[in-house]
Amino acid sequence: MSKIKLLLVLLVGTGIKSQELNNWISNPVDYVNPMMGTQSSYELSNGNTYPITGLPWGMNYWTPQTGKNGNGWQYTYDAKKIQGFKQTHQPSPWMNDYGQFSILPVSGDAQTDQDKRGSWFSHKTEISTPYYYKVYLADYDLWTEIAPTERAAVMRFTFPETRQGQVLLDAFDRGSYVKIIPSERKIIGYSTRYARGKMQNFKNYFVITFDRDFADQKTWSGNEMPKPELEIKADHVGSIVQFAPLKKGDVVTMKVASSFISPEQAEVNLQEVQNKTFDQVKAEAKDIWNKTLGKIEIKGATTEQAKTFYSCLYRSVLFPQRLYEKDKNGKILHYSPYNGKILPGYLYGGTGFWDTFRALYPLLNLVYPSINTEMQKGLISAYQAGGFLPEWSSPGYADIMVGNNSASVVSEAYIKGLRGYDAEILWQAVKHGANNEGPISAVGRKGVADYNAIGYVPTDTGIDESAARTLEYAYDDYAIYQMGKSLGKPEDELQPYRERAMNYKKLFDPKYNLMRGKKKNGDFQENFDPFEWGNAFTEGNSWHYTWSVFQDIHGLREMMGGKNNFVKMLDSVFVMPPTFNINYYKEVIHEMREMQIVGMGQYAHGNQPIQHMLYLYNYAGQPWKTQYWVRQVMDRLYKAAPDGYCGDEDNGQTSAWYVFSALGFYPVTPASTQYVLGSPLFKAAKINLENGKTIELTAPENSEQNIYINQLKLDGKNYTKNWLDHFDLLKGAKIKYKMSAEPNRQRGIEDKDEPFSMSQSVK
């Protein structure tokens, strides 16, 4: 037998494993797959993402558009045709977009009808990276390339031989404007389309320039034939510019920028690319991505693990987006979706705190605190303009989801040491939001009068998802209390929040050891079914929401009868069948299906409420079960592929869960300084902190089998606790895991090893 044949036999016999990367990854952006999560639909989400070409937290992103105008599923991996390249600000398909417009190069007739203009494409000729996108449009025999900056982009179109080399602009409907200026090779205009809220004076002004003269130009409106007019304003308009006959391989370069402030500001934003070549913009964007992703370095991962990790980290640094701009004098300005005015200062938008307070903002506070400092300034801008903090910004107030989790986002930042902004304004903002109903049900606290009076939102006063609201309000009150303590506020000001933080106890039913909706008279809601989604809960059932006592897991444990019963309840989540009751929703919503198909019982990682639950074994003296289940979820439910998530990615939250978990710890209680231990995925990792310090994590014995922590050393000393402290990490820390294939049932089992709980710490 030849050596080659012998090698093949050995590979087949042992199974081909993904190559292990034994050196620090120096170009992490090369491991990002923007297609992760794009094979999704209304019925089943594998992420509900789209491939984003842009910069971290950039104001504008670009994506190939395969869906019709206005369709939230603007790019789906299974689609066959591209109908344009879209500037987008869309946080998710459920929220849809705002200020969008699209560009499409064509050779031949330029069809304004979106059903007719799309071109077949193949993933075989598609290159998608965070900093560069390229695809072949088969029907037009041309290539499109995109390279981004924060507020602008360069596009490069390589044409075939044609007498009709053209570029079509679609400014979308609901009021748009276009003007062609041939002498300047320029198109200007605006889009006013948005999906959420009610915004005054909203326009996304764009400016587009080309490096070739126009041989012909037309504008169009709706279904009418294009006309040789240079300016048009109507419900749905666009333009077509044509160049002199092109030879095969001729390149047309287009530069584009936009502004929410004014046409003049769009011109200022265009300066980001004005004197740069396509390749310069591409190289600079790649460098920015490597620096941003390189804040976390890994070693000893398999190739697939590295791809999944950096694809998740990429998703974690996209939303919310910078919505502020710099004028010609460098002054920071923004259009405010809260009052329609142009105002000084920072603003971010495009995130839902119901999702992202859990892991995304803790990741920012640890790894990218200067960015979150800007975000806190942006929340001040939102509060001062609109009167309340947003809970879902898209870009302004959006009436969706429950809770008052801006309190967690604001409080955690201050508790974890962020400074450089007016925390007193935000203190007033969180108190205002905690004690008032807002202009819409998802701002402030719906049902606050009853909550403050009797300690919960009742099920029989016309407010849906009341138990979910109560549990989240209680945690948010805890967060406000902790921020007030950090600010040195007097006890009489803090007392209501300290007391309300225990309101979760009002909904605990010892008959089931589960949370349950309660009527105003104090009786539990009738016909309780712990498998019913919705009703008193949000996008989940009682088995999912019972664990939403982030601030006091010890107290929840004791209500369940102590450690053993608590562990049995945790174990039950995984052994029950994936049953669901649809009485409330009247249909199988995608989150139900995503729970059903992963084979983990009632564990629904595809949605946020239960994602921290795996870490709760650390509070009951059995940390090895956390280690087992965390690795199961990382290994089974994530991969850098189009179907790579097990539910909605949700603006970085589901990705940030993976990033933290792969490092070996997770922020169960975001508005505290503790991270609860899990099971690290790599043999080594480094977090390069903004203060110049480094967190070094090593687990040399780590493997597919060695998933349990046998021993842990912190800065050379044996460490038995089941948590790490934020401020200890900020000093620079060396964390060494000794991993094994069997659990160490003697480590982390004492009461003193238990992570933070309010009832243990606040007397």
Residue 103 lies in a domain: yes
- Whole-angstrom Cα distance, residue 517 to residue 519? 7
Q: Do residues 32 and 293 lie in contact, with contact meaning Cβ atoms separated by under 8 Å?
A: yes
Identity at 600, one-letter amino acid code: M
Burial class (CB in 10 A: 0-12, 13-18, 19+), 5: exposed
Task: Look up residue 307 and give its two tokens.
Answer: 């791809």
Long-range pairs, 703-706, Cβ under 8 A, ≥24:
703/739, 704/635, 705/741, 706/739, 706/740, 706/741
Helix (H) or strand (E) holding 203: none
Structural domain count, the chain: 1
Of the candidates 180, 176, 178, 140, the one whose C-alpha atom is nearest the C-alpha of residue 158 is 140
Buried/exposed code over 128-158 (b: 16+ C-beta within 10 A; e: otherwise): bbbbbbbbbbeebbbbbbbbbbbbbbbbbbb
Residue 412 lies in a domain: no
Enumerate residue ranges in the chain where pLDDT < 70. Answer: 1-18, 762-763
- Whole-angstrom Cα distance, residue 555 to residue 599? 30
Angle at 602 between CA 601 and CA 607, to 5 degrees: 125
Of the candidates 33, 39, 30, the one whose C-alpha atom is nearest the C-alpha of residue 643 is 39
Q: Do residues 507 and 437 lie in contact, with contact meaning Cβ atoms separated by under 8 Å?
A: no
Provide the whole-model pTM: 0.96
Contacts of 449 (CB under 8 A, 6+ apart): none
Of the candidates 370, 490, 497, the one whose C-alpha atom is nearest the C-alpha of residue 430 is 497
Whichever domain contains 271, its CATH number is 2.70.98.10
Q: How many C-beta atoms surround the C-beta of residue 211 within 10 A? A: 11
User: What was the pLDDT predicted at 7?
Assistant: 37
Helix (H/G/I), strand (E/B), else coil: 145: strand
Burial class (CB in 10 A: 0-12, 13-18, 19+), 714: middle
User: What was the pLDDT predicted at 287?
Assistant: 98
Task: Look up residue 445 and give its two tokens.
Answer: 């606290």
Residue 154 lies in a domain: yes
The side-by-side arrangement of strands in the sheet containing 165-170 is: 61-65, 84-88, 101-107, 165-170, 237-242, 216-221
For every residue of 51-98, DSSP letters joined together read --BS-TT-S-EEEEE-SPTT-S----TT--EE-EEEEE--S-TTT--B
Burial class (CB in 10 A: 0-12, 13-18, 19+), 90: buried
User: What was the pLDDT predicted at 4?
Assistant: 39
End-to-end Cα separation, the chain, in angstroms: 75
Check whether the bond before 395 is cis (ω within 30° of 0). yes
Give residue 538's region: left, alpha or beta (phi > 0; psi -120 to 50): beta
Torsion, CA 362, CA 365, CA 367, CA 369, rounded to 10 = 160
What is each CA distance from 443 to 116, 467, 606, in whole angstroms? 42, 17, 25
Residue 96 lies in a domain: yes
Q: How many C-beta atoms surround the C-beta of residue 720 within 10 A? A: 15
Buried/exposed code over 344-363 (b: 16+ C-beta within 10 A; e: otherwise): ebbbbbbbbbbbbbbbbbbb
- Whole-angstrom Cα distance, residue 434 to residue 404? 7
Torsion, CA 255, CA 261, CA 263, CA 266, rounded to 10 = -20
Q: Do residues 583 and 533 lie in contact, with contact meaning Cβ atoms separated by under 8 Å?
A: no
Helix (H/G/I), strand (E/B), else coil: 546: coil
User: What was the pLDDT predicted at 356?
Assistant: 98
Contacts of 463 (CB under 8 A, 6+ apart): 446, 447, 457, 469
Residue 94 lies in a domain: yes
Residue 166 lies in a domain: yes
Helix (H/G/I), strand (E/B), else coil: 187: strand
Residue 80 lies in a domain: yes
Sign for the CA dihedral angle at 636, 639, 643, 647 comes to: positive
Helix (H/G/I), strand (E/B), else coil: 190: strand
Do the bridges between strand 204-210 and strand 186-191 make them parallel or antiparallel, or are there none, so unpaired? antiparallel
At 295-345, the pLDDT tens digits run: 999 999 999 999 999 999 999 999 999 999 999 999 999 999 999 999 999
**3-state SS track over 664-709:** CEECCCCCCCEEEECCCCCCEEEEECCCCCEEEEECCCCCCCCCEE
Domain that holds residue 235: 32-275
Of the candidates 420, 422, 428, 446, the one whose C-alpha atom is nearest the C-alpha of residue 389 is 428
Task: Look up residue 133 and give its two tokens.
Answer: 């996108």
- Whole-angstrom Cα distance, residue 90 to residue 101? 12
Of the candidates 433, 432, 507, the one whose C-alpha atom is nearest the C-alpha of residue 468 is 507
Residue 544 lies in a domain: no
